[in-house]
Structure 1
Amino acid sequence: MNLFKKLFSTPKQKVTEEPSSELQNLPLDQIFVENFIKNNGKFLYCTTLQEVVLNLKNIIQENYWETINCNDNDLLKLIKSLNIKTTNKLSNKFPTFLSCEHLIAENGSILFSSNQLKEHKISDLSEHFIVYATTSQLVKTKGESLTGIKTRYKGNIPSNISAIKNYNLKSKDDDFMNYGNTNSKNLYLLLFEDL
């Protein structure tokens, strides 16, 4: 009987502390930034709208983009001083400039809904994203972000809720739950301090 136990028992593994537990004591914004950068996101912190516009201009020049997708009237006001063509129909032909619903600290992901994406899937859009977000959009968990959406849009909850959590186009996700989900993007985050 003892022989069978040895053959069929699994060896005990040492329990190691997860890196996320190190982040537990940090402020929410720092947890998000650490996880976002770990996922290969490009992060630009802005304290004024002028900084947002300057960083946006630098991103566009750095990548030699001549046209970008933008369907948000408030964001179009930020772009108007830049020498770039815009199209309000989202497609995969041009980089996409948009806002988001929430920034999720626990895994460094960015949550979108039909308010930003309309009827498009993230995987059908350009591989290049520029996201404008504010520090007030930071939440700790996915659950908090979904609760926030439910509270904010009472009676008119948006559809097409999805997230980007991988910012490296060449990485492969071996997680069975993500099979076929190709939401990886080359993503720049313009984070505006509004608190």
Structure 2
Amino acid sequence: MQENITSKELMLKKIRKALLEKRDNPYPNLEDTPLYKESEEMLEVLFAEQLTAVSGNFIYCENGIEFIENILHLADKYKWRKIYCWEPELQELLTEYEFPFYKTDKDFELAEAGITLCEALIARNGSVMVSNQNSAGRRLSIFPHHHIVIARTGQMVMDLKDAFRLIKDKYGSQIPTMLSTITGPSRTADIEKTLVLGAHGPKELFVFLIEDFI
């Protein structure tokens, strides 16, 4: 007489059989396996590649003079007239070379470009880490259509954990209340899956890495 087995019983029977079978772990050392493959590229090169891949712009400068030359070129190209900078050390540099900018938030609703510092550049994914500790706060990094970031070579790190190490070394127990990473210009594909840049923030991101900076 053939035993009647329901589909549920058959499924449970297969599960019990599978559990009794000895199966080799296909990934025996998964926890010890690094998440990323090691890269032999220079951090600056890797960062530039990753930033460019997400529609960002990378400009390397040996010193402040090269920075001024490059930002003058961008200002002429994009016809910037209202450029805002609230970082005292950047203001000093711009003033030294008579570069026009706004020191206050007068007519800020008309801002075309904002110049800020950053906490770190993360080479792995081309991201910029910013915090609310800088004088620019958060407004200059999200409101103007063009965001210009100034970084020193010592702020270039490989991974996010390295960026947090810089933060800890810099601030100790007084960690900023706001830390954020920026990966390329603002973007969204919410409407009909069409990628749009600048939907919720800057539509252009320029990262200046200056070798010899004050």
Pairwise TM-score range, normalised by the shorter structure: 0.7 to 0.9
Pairing 1:80-99 to 2, within 5 Å after superposition: 80=95, 81-89=97-105, 91=108, 93-94=110-111, 95-99=113-117
C-alpha contact 2:82 2:110 (8 A) present in aligned 1 = no
Q: 1:59 aligns with which of 52, 74, 78?
A: 74
Q: Is residue 164–residue 183 contact of structure 1 (8 Å, CA) maintained in 2?
A: no
Task: Compare 96-105 and 139-148 and name the one that shifted more.
Answer: 139-148
The alpha-carbon distance between structure 1 residues 66 and 183, as it changes in their structure 2 partners (threshold 3 A), is: closer
Residue 104 to residue 119, structure 1, CA distance change in 2 (3 Å): closer
Relative to structure 1, the CA distance from residue 166 to residue 172 in structure 2 (aligned partners, 3 Å threshold; closer, same or farther) is farther
1:167-186 equivalences in 2 (<5 Å): 167=185, 169=186, 171-172=188-189, 182=200, 185-186=203-204
Q: CA deviation at 1:87?
A: 3.2
Counterpart of 1:17? Answer: none
- Which of 115, 132, 138 is matched with 2:156 structurally? 138
Distance 1:44 1:126 in 2: 19
Cα contact 1:102–1:111 (8 A) shared by 2: yes
Tell me which residue corresponds to 1:151: 169
Aligned residue type for 1:103: L
- List runs of 5+ in structure 2 lacking aligned partners: 1-6, 15-35, 191-198
**1: distance between equivalents of 2:140 and 2:100?**
25
The aligned amino acid for 2:74 is I
Aligned-residue offset at 1:170 = 5.1
- Distance in 1 between the 2:94 and 2:189 partners? 34
Any stretches of 5+ residues in structure 1 without a counterpart?
Answer: 6-19, 174-180
Q: Does 1:25 align with 2:31?
A: no
* Aligned mates of 1:92, 1:160 — CA distance in 2: 23
Question: What secondary structure, in the 3-state scheme, does the structure 1 residue paired with 2:93 have?
Answer: helix
Q: How much is the aligned-residue C-alpha RMSD, in angstroms? A: 2.9
Partner Cα separation in structure 2 for residue 96 and residue 76 of structure 1: 12
TM-score, with structure 1 as normaliser:
0.75
Summarize deviations over 1:150-187 as a string: whole Å, max 9, x none. 111113222221111022x55538xxxxxxx9456411
Distance in 1 separating the partners of 2:79 and 2:202: 21
Larger radius of gyration: 2
For residues 141 and 114 of structure 2, the distance between their equivalents in structure 1, rounded to whole angstroms, comes to: 10
Say which of 79, 83, 92 aligns to 1:68: 83
Identity of aligned residues (%): 26
Q: Is the 8 A contact 1:70 1:89 kept in 2?
A: no
Going from structure 1 to structure 2, the CA distance change for 1:119 and 1:193 (only over 3 Å counts) comes to: closer
C-alpha distance in structure 1 between counterparts of 2:101 and 2:67, whole Å: 18
CA contact 1:135–1:191 (8 Å) conserved in 2:
yes
Cα distance in 2 for residues equivalent to 1:72 and 1:187: 18
Read off the aligned partner of 1:64 and give its amino acid letter. K
Give the letter aligned to residue 79 of structure 1.
Answer: L
For 1:14, the equivalent position in structure 2 comes to none
Deviation at 1:100, TM superposition (A): 0.5
The residue type equivalent to 1:187 in the other structure is: L
How many residue pairs match? The answer is 170
Q: Which residue of 1 aligns with 2:4?
A: none
The TM-score normalised by the length of structure 2 is 0.69
